[in-house]
């Protein structure tokens, strides 16, 4: 009985330590999460990693496609900043110093670091095929930064490490026999696996927010569906259980459910560069044939 009481006290102690942090509300979705790392820390880490990455990366020499990425990125950034300023998040705007780069990499990928440092790989353009689909992708990446998903994941990792360390140390002292170390190891493995689900939830939230950001910037959100179908047909993700991304089917279904809301924000933008955009994307695609 005493051991049970000690274990309960141990768990409560660990939970007390790991529950520290500031409650933050995600724009658009209204989801609340706790973050125990400062914006300054995240931005410093992000800037450091970004500089190291760009020092090794090879920037694209395709002038047209580079201009395309920068144009779409700026359109989205302007829409996001306008939304944040108009909806009680004006203090968040200073956290962003937007940069948009196209790099010579055949992977179909893109990412946005905290602070608005966005990188698109050339290999993604044959799948986006047009400016609107590129906006869908960049809206998703920007949403990760706006929702502070990186800070959320770092907070969870720190809390889990602290909690398992506390539990392990106290169990070693109260029960002995290396029980604490074993328990901490098992718990660490559990948290690592469970965090895959957290990452999938972040991805779906970024899809939802990104869809709306694209619509705010004047891009048709309905183009998200054919884009993800193209990605799926190219051998996308079908197994959720062991992945940190949702399956393409789950993603498409969630986007379809979110579409009516996104369309409320959509006002088509007037562009004069459609033919230039199409030529640029076709040129990129032809290089890979």
d(CA 85, CA 96): 13
Helix (H, G, I), strand (E, B) or coil at 238: coil
CA–CA gap between residue 127 and residue 230 (Å, rounded): 6
DSSP track, 50-70: HHHHHHHS-B---HHHHHHHH
Greatest distance between any 2 Cα atoms in the chain: 76
Q: Give CA–CA dist 91/24, Å, rounded.
A: 13
List C-alpha distances in Å: 206 to 146, 150, 171, 186, 246.
9, 12, 39, 31, 12
Structure tokens at 173: 């002292």
Token duo for residue 271: 């562009």
- In this structure, are strands 117-121 and 99-103 parallel, antiparallel, or unpaired? parallel
Residues involved in catalysis: 141
Quote the CA–CA distance of 213 and 143 in Å, as a whole number: 8
Q: How many Cβ atoms sit within 10 Å of the Cβ of residue 227?
A: 21
Q: How far apart are CA 196 and CA 249, in angstroms?
A: 17
How far is residue 201's CA from residue 205's CA, in Å, rounded to a whole number?
6
Helix/strand/coil for 26: coil
């Amino acid at each position: 009985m005493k051991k049970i009481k000690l274990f309960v006290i141990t768990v409560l102690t660990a939970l007390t330590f790991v529950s520290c942090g500031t409650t933050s509300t995600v724009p658009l979705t209204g989801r609340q999460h706790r973050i125990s790392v400062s914006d300054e820390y995240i931005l410093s880490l992000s800037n450091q990693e970004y500089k190291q990455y760009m020092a090794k990366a090879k920037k694209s020499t395709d002038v047209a496609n580079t201009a395309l990425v920068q144009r779409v990125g700026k359109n989205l950034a302007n829409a996001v900043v306008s939304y944040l300023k108009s909806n009680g998040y004006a203090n968040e705007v200073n956290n962003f110093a937007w940069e948009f780069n196209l790099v010579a990499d055949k992977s179909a990928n893109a990412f946005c670091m905290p602070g608005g440092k966005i990188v698109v790989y050339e290999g993604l353009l044959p799948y986006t095929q047009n400016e609107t689909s590129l906006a869908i992708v960049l809206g998703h990446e920007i949403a990760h930064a706006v929702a502070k998903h990186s800070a959320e994941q770092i907070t969870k990792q720190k809390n889990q490490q602290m909690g398992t360390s506390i539990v392990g140390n106290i169990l070693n002292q109260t029960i002995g026999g290396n029980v604490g170390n074993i328990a901490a190891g098992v718990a660490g493995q559990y948290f690592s696996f469970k965090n895959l689900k957290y990452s999938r939830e972040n991805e779906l939230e970024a899809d939802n927010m990104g869809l709306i950001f694209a619509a705010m910037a004047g891009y048709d959100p309905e183009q998200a569906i054919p884009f993800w179908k193209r990605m799926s047909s190219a051998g996308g993700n079908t197994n959720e259980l062991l992945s940190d991304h949702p399956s393409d089917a789950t993603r498409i279904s969630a986007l379809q459910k979110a579409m009516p809301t996104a369309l409320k924000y959509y006002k088509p933008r007037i562009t004069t560069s459609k033919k230039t955009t199409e030529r640029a994307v076709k040129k990129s695609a032809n290089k890979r044939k």
